[in-house]
Homo-oligomer: A and B are copies of this chain.
Amino acid sequence: MTLAGRHLISINDFSNEEIEAVLNLADEMSSAIEKGKRLDLCQGKELYTIFYEPSTRTRSSFETAMHRLGGTVVTHAEAQVTSSAAKGESIADTIRVLERYADIIVMRHPLDGSTRLAAEHSSVPVISGGDGAHEHPTQTLLDLYTIRKEKGAIRGKGVALCGDLRHGRTVHSLVIALARFGAEITCIAPPDFGLPDHIRDILKAYRCKLTEYESLEDIVAEGSLVLHQPRVESRESRVESRGGRGTPERSVSRLQTGFMSFLLENLDVLYFTRLQRERLPTGKIGDAAEESYRINRQLLEKSRDDALIMHPLPRTNELAYEVDQDKRAAYFRQAGYGVPVRMALIALLLGAVETRVSEWPKRKTPKLAKDVSGVRCLNPRCVTQAERYATAKFYPVNPQLLRCYYCDWMVQVV
């Protein structure tokens, strides 16, 4: 079997076996790079990078990956300004032209589902470099690669995700993949910054062990963390736990001080993401609160010696510079893995390398819902809102619920 000609828009476009094929090949790419071995696997092939939003790591590492494979690159680094998008051209039209020039396309766009729309109109593989707040699947591949390479495996590892888990596309792709590979997930996010419902629903389907906390509100004098509002594993049990608390603030604090130590001792990976201050609710949350989603020397001291501190970068305040010197700080290595992982992905999608698995398990392609005329996706940032020629499409979740084909938002059917 082959991955040739496939798109990668959501991490769910690939089966676990397919993801592992990418990670295995990335290992080979990595050692080829280290040995300075020249690879001409993609000679004569043309990669297009079409970015409607700024990027340092994603675009760069894709372009270097293509060069290291012997291929060539055409760049649209600021497509919203330098391409015909500035004259109002639709995504579909842009792609229907560029697929005639390119052998493979990487696209980043601010609208959710935009890269899925692009893939629909392309006969050559389209890789998402990030679509709005939706997904960023190649970041997820390199996150998985980092954990596997540095911790030996993903299954059974305790991974904490900390920061803005609502708006970060990086986290959405990652948390699903972690669930699929059997990691144990802890989410730490301020109120209104937790995982979106559609992601939580997907995790539930994977029977993922998920623990959620609403805030690490303060770092107490003795250096341990205080959790304000614990949220326990499922929404049902969360309600119970809320009902059961006494004088909430104090008892919770005490509980959490001890719990935090326990928590940190069981975490293999601490994955931090940007928490944009301007998005935090004013009044409710202040400097101290922001501090509690931040990793610094104090938190490091409490963490395991072999923990991995990860971050998709760029960072703002949530990752103190003092952490950089610590051997557990993995985020620059993590960014560096972008090249071998993306080399592997490009080589596979272009059919330059056949995967080792003799036969893939049959992929179930989910069927679209019928009779949905008149239903529109309610996500204001969904690509179907802006590109009016795009037909709204949905997957049926249950008789009352539809999931948008482009951006994965749920729509209630009345």
Partner of A314, one of B43, B61, B84: B84
Segment among A47-55, A132-140, A202-210 that sits at the interface with chain B:
A47-55
Cross-chain contact A54 with B83 (CB below 8 angstroms): yes
Q: Are A61 and B93 in contact (CB under 8 A)?
A: no
Given contacts A84-B56, A89-B314, A335-B100, contact A389 B46 (CB under 8 A): no
Q: Which residues of B contact A46 (CB under 8 A)?
A: 64, 67-68
Number of copies of this chain that the complex holds: 3
Does A78 belong to the interface (CB within 8 Å)?
A: yes
Bound Cα distance from A78 to B389, whole angstroms = 30
Contact status A93-B315, CB under 8 Å = yes
Do residues B43 and A100 form an inter-chain contact, with CB atoms below 8 A? no
Q: Which of B82, B85, B333 is close to A78, meaning CB atoms less than 8 Å apart? A: B82
Q: Does A87 contact B (CB under 8 A)?
A: yes
A96 contacts partner chain B, Cβ-Cβ < 8 Å: yes
A88 close to B316 (CB less than 8 A): yes
The reply to whether A67 and B74 contact each other, CB–CB distance below 8 Å, is: yes
Q: How far is the CA of A401 from the CA of B170 in the complex (A)?
A: 50
Q: In residues 315-340 of chain A, which contact B (Cβ within 8 Å)?
A: 315-316, 321, 332-333, 335-336, 338-339
Does A102 sit at the interface, judged by CB under 8 A? Answer: yes
In the complex, A57→B76 CA distance in Å?
Answer: 11
Chain B residues whose C-beta falls within 8 Å of the C-beta of A88 in the assembled complex: 314, 316
Contact indicator B98/A56 (Cβ below 8 Å): yes
Q: Are B51 and A44 in contact (CB under 8 A)?
A: no
A83 (CB) vs chain B CBs: closest residue:
B56
Measured CA separation A389–B61 after assembly (Å)? 26
With the chains together, A84 CA to B77 CA distance in Å?
A: 12
Q: In the complex, A333→B99 CA distance in Å? A: 11
Structural contact, A54 and B82, CB atoms closer than 8 A: yes
- Determine whether A234 belongs to the interface, using a CB cutoff of 8 Å to chain B: no
Q: Which residues of B contact A237 (CB under 8 A)?
A: none
Residues of B within 8 A of A74 (CB): 60, 63-64, 67, 73
Residue ID in chain B nearest A78 by CB atoms: B82
Q: In the complex, what residues of B have CB within 8 A of residue A79's CB?
A: 56
Contact indicator per residue, chain A 100-138, by CB within 8 Å of chain B (1) or not (0): 111000000000000000000000000000000000000
Can you list 17 contacts pairing A with B, beta carbon distance less than 8 Å? A38-B44, A46-B68, A51-B82, A54-B81, A55-B83, A56-B84, A56-B98, A60-B98, A60-B101, A76-B77, A77-B82, A84-B313, A84-B314, A89-B313, A89-B314, A100-B336, A101-B336
Instruction: Given A46-B64, A97-B332, A321-B389, output 4 extra A-B contacts at Cβ < 8 Å.
Output: A55-B82, A55-B84, A61-B101, A93-B314
